[in-house]
Structure 1
């Protein structure tokens, strides 16, 4: 049994993926022994309420992770979480301290604190973030990811990563996120990685390659070392560079980095918006667009070339391309964003055409686009607009399921 903790849990996307792997394998491989979810910007903890209703609160923490003592977190074999994208620079050296730490409020450092202070470090990590992590910030391309890799390298982990667009592997949403997996030096998987075959780890030997196959030919590749100390990486990595050295796949092993741009290799059936739609008779009337609102929707979705005036009175030329309106139900959806909910016209909300007229997507349909169970986010204290927000913050559960299934088989 792999004892697991879920950080930045949201409404439990990682947990659902792990539990589905248990079901496929017909045994309890992954056991969630502790979870944490805290939303600092809201009084009502909507995501945590949903999480606790589904799994109870006996092993669940609903306080700021920065205020949790590491001693109060159970020992675990696997740490998972989709943490916020922030500025990960190293801010200071603490006097009489345990080393370099970043700015308070930057939640990567909470993960780092757990890994640093745990005597029995987790053997495996599965982490998720937006793909711009690989190239941020704009004035030091790739620094943030380099800081993370350096931290994990110093803590004794090898790391592999891949940017995955869910729709390229048969899932119903074009959602692009970077997933990275860490293997502690005490594990057999770490010992399988060899410096002279890092490219083969990406193409065929790694957990990512086995979960999400790629074409064998790299579009481009790079190899470099990350041997500077952590503060130097934070201060100097990427300065003067216009593009990040980190490509959409890669592996870190003992300070050596091999990274390559790869293409997905999938010939299975691809899901579409049509495949996740509920029966039209079940759609509440408020999801249909009023005819007197249609002009606003068409304007926001359409191409524009106009003069606008800033709040300070400055005139400027504004232009943007048009979007397909309504969305094609014969293709995967665009990425769900946190502003998906609510009746107000928007450029980015999904709108589909039905026999009864144009309408927005319902909460169940948004859940299905992320492969959550129907009505997973339904709660008497959670509005439909907030349910859409939560799905905009969630991940595609099927990706976690694939990675964890491959990892479980590899460990076994």
Structure 2
């Protein structure tokens, strides 16, 4: 099952909680996770409401007054001591880690010294743990989301007047598509932004999906501009052709050439199907290389990150490509008392290509104390004899 979030009205912890419960997650699931926290008793209550005529579920977090100001270390200890499943505990820790890093950058302090004010309150703790527990209950294979409406104007927080979008929200959603939206107020909270940053796999319009059910979660406010709701669409991926592989490319003219072997290794380790360099001549006669990496769609993000981490480039071309692949099988042949892997490619029942695994050849050559070219010649002959081409 996949999920998609409609965030045209923004996002907060209670909006997500309401959407999850409205989509069929039993209220007992987030309530049990919240009850496991070693803090004052916190209760969750669900209420049916309407926003601009649209039916929705609002989840109230009932918590006693608290003046506690928790640091990131306090929250880590609290979650470590809670009787939570590993998935829920790790998920909640990931959310608060993002909050600590974002608040640390905004306030120019070490993340460990960050004091959570609004986000360290009992209701925010309940929102994070409850939402993580709800998503873990659904067991989605992918969660995507629309661009996020952040709001505009200003609000008052623990540090005084804060511009909207809040600095921490912008930090948390760096790289995600966002816009102000029509409501001149805060529509995306730091807690909501951190949950999105930790849980959303892809930012996209509604993907092809066979809709199973839709959950609508409401917030406390009812602005005139639009319904204050988050919609969670659940279903199975619609039958569509598989996404095309892509080639990531970058022209690089300022990298120490001794680094290139390590770059190619890093891209392959990140999931690239292949990676290579092409010497080129750039403007003003500068020698350079085009770095190329062939990627499956599910490996693109990791390979992109590896490119930026290991090279000096600040941009990439992403080129969808077609691919024709022959039917291939893997086997092996005995050579000089050892075995060497063989790949056999066919068109129908006809063998059109036979290749030996060079790493196996090199290892066997070392083991036998023979030149690699001799073992390669013997292995190739054995492979072609076992699998005649044509």
TM tier, smaller: under 0.3
What TM-score, normalized by structure 1, do the two folds share?
0.21
Taking structure 2 as the reference length, the TM-score comes to 0.22
Larger Rg: 2
